[in-house]
Amino acid sequence: MDLIEIYQCFCDATRLRIIHLLTQGPLCVCHFQDVLDIPQVKVSQQLAYLRKHGMVEATRHANWMIYSLPAKRPVELETNLKCLQDCAPTDKRFRADLKRLKSIKRQSEWVSETLATKCC
């Protein structure tokens, strides 16, 4: 993955919001739908694009696909993710996304259980 691929993935608002949400931990498509308020098809298209370019990884858990940032990240990606996290608090959309995500996670107990076993 090179810097141009990273910026191509970052240059779309939906993809950037997805990546930002994934900095909080693994999520499934339904969470992106709820947080971003966009149809499943659009979420899946954006996740497929990100997956194709090595920006996300996917694992199946029962009927759900769980997406996460790559476990091993190139330095260029890690640096840009840190920049995104530094800049995101100043953007209303990113703050609202995180607020909705927090609410959704509280309502979805299986997520905590699933992601804890996947991540730890």
Q: What is the DSSP annotation of 65-93?
A: EEEE--SS--HHHHHHHHHHHHHGGG-HH
pTM for this prediction:
0.82
Write the CB contacts of 53 (distance below 8 Å, at least 6 apart in sequence): 1, 5, 8, 9
Relative to beta strand 64-68, strand 57-61 is antiparallel
Q: What is the pLDDT of residues 12-26, one digit of tens each?
A: 999 999 999 999 999
SS3 47: helix
Query: Domain locations in the chain?
Result: 3-106
Q: What is the pLDDT of residues 66-105, one digit of tens each?
A: 999 999 988 888 888 888 888 888 889 999 999 999 888 7
Please provide the CATH number assigned to the domain covering 3-106. 1.10.10.10
